[in-house]
Structure 1
Amino acid sequence: MKRLLAVLATATLLVQLGTTSASAAKPVRSSAIQWMGHSWWPRSVGGAPGPSGLWSPANATVDAEGRVHLRITRDRKGRLVQGELDTMDNGWGYGTYRWEVASDLTAMHPEVVLGLFTYGADPAYGHREIDIEASGWGRTPITWDYTTWANGHNPVSRTPVVPGRSTHQFEWAPDRITWTSWDATGALLATRTVAGADVPVPYDESIGMNLWVCGCTSEWRKTPATEVVIDRFSFTPAG
């Protein structure tokens, strides 16, 4: 679901290439965050996804206990401001991407989207976007959604969220993508696999996490302030 504007993709690519451009690289480098052994930058560049188009580094932070906090807030003009973290490194490739979500999302507003994903500046294979998202897309219930964009938008599965903590991962292999989710007790919530043209070939993908407003209904401007806490992220290379 994450569809960045060209300006964000360009800025990300410049950072990944190590540019010395003051207009693109300096703000990103100055705000880098170390988390789970990786360098991340909190997004400040405006644009998609969602109709708000506003992002603040203050809405993507790490607390003293090492947990990520993603927020949706309002600025002084009452506009909705969103939060996103993206890895400074790219080209992660085949392997297992795993997140532990501490927040209970059962009462999350249906306009809010939590995204856990890969995304590249290069447009091939749908920007190599592989998604795990929690949202109601303007409706209830809130569901965990698995999506791949390599062969066009392919929503693979939607599973209602359950109370409490949850863990989510996707395993990206040359011949398949397998998503899996577990509840707080470790019980399986869902698992799905796709193959063939739905599997992208790695190149320049970064890893991201965001919290944003989808604008799925005319009431999206009434979305309340929201916060989601993520305890951990891990990446295990294939092989």
Structure 2
Amino acid sequence: MRTISWSGYKWDVRPAGTDQGPGPNDWSDSRRNVRVQGSDLLLSIVTGATGNWNSSEVANQRHLGYGTYRWVVATDLSTLDANEVLGMFAYGGADPSNNEIDIEASHWGSLSNPTGWATVWQNADAGLSKQRDFSYS
């Protein structure tokens, strides 16, 4: 598995392969799709054409727990393609993780949908979750 160093941590890059959700995309661990530029900029780039996208995912090797996290996104998220997703997650580390926090920027297949979505899963098995959509400007 490819590893990158960014923001003071080591991150695993999801291995390349097909038939892994969510989709429709193929995961890529290529430097073309995910790389660090300079000392503080993480680039995660969707590539491909004709309906076959190559996307990337990174996961911190450390479970940092809950707290206050700040992400600075240099892309205008309101201009995402209808099927692109930027997901930022905090998991409790247990398997299955029943205490997950998701913040996602996506139109979920339709440009008329709001751009953002936040979900707090208290217990996924029991269907306990709080969800809210929002728009970026």
* TM > 0.5 fold call: yes
Q: Does 1:122 align with 2:95?
A: yes
C-alpha separation in 2, matches of 1:121 and 1:48: 20
| Offset at residue 53 of structure 1 (A) | 4.1
**Residue pairs, 1:92-171, within 5 angstroms:** 92-119=64-91, 120=93, 122-125=95-98, 128-141=99-112, 142-152=114-124, 154=129, 156-162=131-137
Unpaired runs of 5+ in structure 1? Answer: 1-27, 163-239
Higher-Rg structure is: 1
Shift of 1:43: 1.4
Matched residue pairs, number?
Answer: 129
Taking the TM superposition and a 5 Å limit, the aligned residue runs for 1:1-239 are 28=1, 31-46=2-17, 47-58=20-31, 59-74=33-48, 79-90=52-63, 92-119=64-91, 120=93, 122-125=95-98, 128-141=99-112, 142-152=114-124, 154=129, 156-162=131-137
Matches of 1:103 and 1:80, distance apart in 2: 18
Q: For 1:148 and 1:135, how far apart are their aligned partners in 2?
A: 17
User: How much has 1:50 moved relative to structure 2?
Assistant: 2.0
- TM-score normalised per structure 2: 0.79
* Alpha-carbon distance in 1 for matches of 2:86, 2:54: 14
How far apart, CA to CA, are the structure 1 residues paired with 2:22 and 2:86? 12
In structure 2, relative to structure 1, the CA distance for the partners of 1:146 and 1:80 (3 Å cut) is same
Q: Identify the structure with bigger relative contact order (alpha carbons < 8 Å, sequence gap 6+).
A: 1
**Coordinate RMSD, CA, aligned:** 2.3
